[in-house]
A and B are shown apart, each in its own frame.
Chain A
Amino acid sequence: MADTPIIIDSEKCRGCKKCISACPFDALYMEGKLAVLKPEECRACNACVKACPFKAISANVKEEAKKESLSDFKGIWVFAEQHHGKVQEVAYELLSTGRRLAKDRGCELAAVVLGHNVTDSAAHLIAAGADKVYVVDQPELAEYEANVYTDALNQLIAKYKPEVILAGATAVGRAFFAKVAVRARTGLTADCTALSIDKESHLLHQTRPAFGGNIMATIMTPNHRPQMATVRPKVFKMTTPDPKRKGETLMEALKLVTAGTKIVKAERNAANVNIAEAEIIVAGGRGLKKAENLEQLKKLADLLGGVVGVSRACVDAGWISASHQVGQTGKTVCPKIYLAFGISGAIQHLEGMRGSDTIIAINNDPNASIFGIADLGIIGDLFEILPMLIEAVEAKRKN
């Protein structure tokens, strides 16, 4: 038993079961009046060591000696999320930010790809700034499953010990990184809007909005590694790839756990508008008054090659599906143009679209808070202006 992460002294154990309730992983059980370890479940968190009133449990010194000091963790990693071999744009955005962080920290930048038939993506990731690409290309990783992906990334973390890991705050990234961080017993900061390396401490400063964007907080993870953060798509800008960049691709073969769930059907296609990716958004709010008026917005959006976005009020009223919702409880968007019709600008909404390059707002209330961030604010009746605008754009198209 010398190789187990913890050692139970059967002489000292009184069978009080405190270790059993303390163990987060059900790695201990009672055999008669003695606590016994299930080594395969134990993750060496040492919760039982601290819980035992009789000092009967100790951390295995040999294991303890192996425990890496913080300085063993080196390098910045970007999780390159891919769907069916196509790397998501947010990964490239993170690589451009990662380059800056790696320069400030004086370390390497690596990308990690998990999937099946994904090896080709390594070249793109190197061109986008990665010095190294770790690729795990196995059939079990073809579709995202939380436990399998967590297992894969945690194995790589244990092997290579990165100092920082970043991922896109996508549906996949947010959920699976939360598991990875818990398994690695480290901190994770969600939805960062700014990342930097602190000059003195060399720690990652992670800035994020909280309380619906009313407050910004800067967070760091001083004593745990890796330091982990997710970033919403479109928050950072992508840099132009350099196909001449040189980098190293490392293929990793992993023995993975079996999936807990399986996808039986996936209805994903481009027709499902992902407003987070849109360059032009024509948005409407409560001021539209009824669902039918969304048709006008749709018409303008089609003319401009954009998509329809809405404030929460429209979704709550059942006018349109929640996938169109912009804002704190919807999507964060950062299009080139954001046209807001009849949106007063609740803070939750503004938080989701304040990153837009150009904001044009039309509202009949001169005090609407959206005017505070609009590049062009028009006080006026949207039912008058919207049809005129559609007509004007149509006329332009004909010329």
Chain B
Amino acid sequence: MVDMTGGVFFCFNGDTEFGGRPARGQERGKAMHIIVCIKQVPDTTNVRINPETNTLMREGVESIMNPFDEYALEEALKLKDAHGARVTVISMGPPQAEVILREAMARGADDGVLLTDRAFAGADTLATSYAISQAIKKVNAHPDLVFFGKQAIDGDTAQVGPGVSEFLNFPLVTYVKSVKISGGTFTVETQMDEGVDVIEGNMPAVMTVVKDASTPRFASLGGWMEAKKTAIPRWGAKDVGAVPDMCGLNGSPTKVVKIFAPPTKTGGTRMDGRDEPDAAVEAILKMLQDKGVA
């Protein structure tokens, strides 16, 4: 099932495992617990539509961790560095999405959970928000912070973070550039359309993180070694107590009617200005004047 509405878009092949050993962070007792939700996305530069069949051509398209999620993870890891925290990464997707959870753990996350189940296939943002919030509640009913990237680059909706805040009934702060915490309160800078706001609140909260935040760290070799040792449990709809009617296609109010290739704008005048830059400048100037500028 192809999902254009912004949820999870692939087919699943089931194969759910359970269990896994207790996460490393759990041993630390009362440390802050931060959950980071990450998504595996196709590198959208290379996704195309087959004009004859109107279906996605995904062959050979590389899958990556959603770039915005890397920034969300980095903010969580910075808080861990500064204050000590357990950082849990959660992803919803096919079994192969496990690789981004390992990558996140190699960078410093303590543990990860993969939500994977045929029942989730075709989920739009409502059904995705529901499934993820159920998983968060199972990981910890009272986490301190839940981070998302601003949006995923395949669906581009920016709706799942806010949706999860609604299901968890946590305050929501979007477009976060930096996070400071002190006691039970947070102070964040957010990138709004007209400038930067500074916002305060009490934890818990859901935050979505923009790219202006600090540059994500690389995974160390040691990190990879450590990450490989930790089991990543795979949870299905039943494991997180999700009602089938609210999952996947059944739980999705939005339906895709059709997909098609975008209209192509055909280029206009072309000229070679390599030998005659004067003529090129003249042409630009004329067009600017025709449009009422310059």
User: Is the pair A260, B172 in contact by a Cβ cutoff of 8 Å?
Assistant: yes
Q: Hey, which chain B residues are within 8 Å of A172, CB to CB?
A: 192-193
Contact A385 B4 (CB under 8 A): no
Residues of the A chain whose Cβ atoms lie less than 8 Å from the Cβ of B265 = 354, 372-373
One digit per residue, 1 when the CB lies within 8 angstroms of any chain B CB and 0 when it does not, for chain A 203-231 equals 00100111111111111111110000000
The answer to whether B158 touches A268 (Cβ under 8 A) is no
Contact digits for A342-383, partner B, Cβ 8 Å, 1 yes 0 no: 000011100000100110101010100001111111111100
Interface contact A171-B269, CB-CB below 8 Å: no
Q: Of residues 20 to 58 in B, which have CB atoms within 8 Å of A's CB atoms? A: 42, 44-45, 47-49, 56
In the complex formed, the residue of B with least CB distance to A322 is: B212
Interface residue? A176 (CB, 8 A): yes
Which residues of chain A come closer than 8 Å to B282, judged between CB atoms? 392
Minimal Cβ-Cβ distance residue in A for B166: A182
Cβ 8 A contact of B291, one of A21, A45, A322, A358: A358
Given contacts A50-B245, A372-B264, contact A150 B166 (CB under 8 A): yes
Are the C-beta atoms of A218 and B258 separated by less than 8 Å? Answer: yes
Asked whether A107 is an interface residue with its Cβ less than 8 Å from the other chain, the reply is no
In chain A, what residue has the closest Cβ to B278?
A388
The answer to whether A185 and B126 touch across the interface, beta carbons within 8 angstroms, is yes
- Contacting pair B288 A186 (CB below 8 A): no
CB of A255 closer than 8 Å to a CB of B: no
Among A95-103, A118-126, A188-196, A239-247, which stretch is in contact with chain B? A188-196
Which single member of A216, A357, A375 contacts B259 (CB below 8 Å)? A216
Q: Select A375's contact among B156, B241, B281, B287, beta carbons within 8 Å.
A: B287
**Could you say which residues of chain B place their CB within 8 Å of the CB of A303?**
294
Contact pattern, A 254-288, Cβ under 8 Å of B = 1, otherwise 0: 00000011111111111010101000100000000
Q: Is the CB of A371 within 8 A of B270?
A: yes
**Among B196, B243, B252, B259, residue most surrounded by chain A Cβ atoms (within 10 Å):** B243
Stretch at the interface among A6-14, A22-30, A134-142, A156-164: A22-30
Stretch from B84-92, B94-102, B200-208, B217-225 that touches the partner: B200-208
**How does the 8 Å CB contact mask read for B68-94 relative to A, with 1 for contact and 0 for none?**
100000000000000000000000000
Are A190 and B205 in contact (CB-based, < 8 A)? no
Which residues of A lie under 8 Å from residue B229 when comparing CB positions?
A: none
A269 touches B285 (CB 8 A): no
Q: Which of B68, B199, B212, B272 is most buried by chain A, counting CB atoms within 10 A of its CB?
A: B199
Known: A175-B162, A264-B200. A216 touches B261 (CB 8 A): yes
Task: From A262, A268, A348, A379, give the contact of B201 (CB < 8 A).
Answer: A262
A384 proximity list for chain B (CB < 8 A): 277
| Listed residue (B167, B242, B265) with the most chain A CB atoms within 10 angstroms of its CB | B265
Find out whether the CB atom of B267 lies under 8 angstroms from the CB atom of A371: yes
Given known A-B contacts A212-B45, A217-B259, A374-B267, A190 and B195 have beta carbons under 8 A apart: no
A305 close to B (CB within 8 Å):
yes
Given contacts A50-B245, A215-B49, A392-B281, whether A261 and B199 have CB atoms under 8 Å apart is yes
Q: Contact at B283–A217, with CB atoms within 8 Å?
A: no
Q: Given A25-B169, A267-B195, A280-B293, do A380 and B156 touch, yes or no (CB 8 Å)?
A: no
Of A215, A262, A265, the contact of B261 (CB 8 Å cutoff): A215
Q: Is A33's CB within 8 Å of the partner chain B? A: no
Inter-chain contacts of B157 with A (CB < 8 A): 178, 188, 190-191
**B246 at the A interface (CB under 8 A):** yes
Which residues on the B side are within 8 Å of A375 (C-beta)? 267-269, 287
From B246, B262, B273, give the contact of A378 (CB < 8 A): B273
Q: Known contacts being A83-B194, A264-B200, A380-B277, is A223 close to B253, with CB within 8 Å?
A: yes
- Which B residue sits closest to A354, measured CB to CB? B265
A266 touches B268 (CB 8 A): no
* A11–B269 CA distance with the chains assembled, in angstroms: 80
A16 to B: closest C-beta gap in Å:
11
Q: For B48, list chain A residues within 8 Å (CB).
A: 214-215
Q: Given that A189-B5, A215-B56, A378-B271 are known contacts, is A274 also in contact with B44, CB under 8 Å in the complex? A: no
Contacts A210-B259, A321-B212, A379-B270 known; 15 new A-B pairs at CB < 8 A: A175-B158, A182-B126, A188-B254, A214-B47, A218-B256, A219-B5, A219-B255, A219-B257, A262-B201, A322-B191, A354-B265, A371-B270, A376-B287, A377-B268, A377-B270
Smallest CB-CB A-B distances: 8 pairs: A260-B171, A21-B241, A217-B4, A380-B273, A187-B253, A261-B201, A212-B44, A178-B162
Can you identify 8 A-B contacts, CB atoms within 8 angstroms?
A47-B243, A146-B173, A172-B192, A211-B56, A224-B253, A328-B156, A377-B269, A389-B284
B residues with CB within 8 A of A? 4-6, 42, 44-45, 47-49, 56, 67-68, 124-126, 129-130, 133-134, 137-138, 153-163, 165-167, 169-175, 187, 190-202, 205, 208, 210-212, 240-246, 252-262, 264-274, 277-278, 280-285, 287-288, 291-294
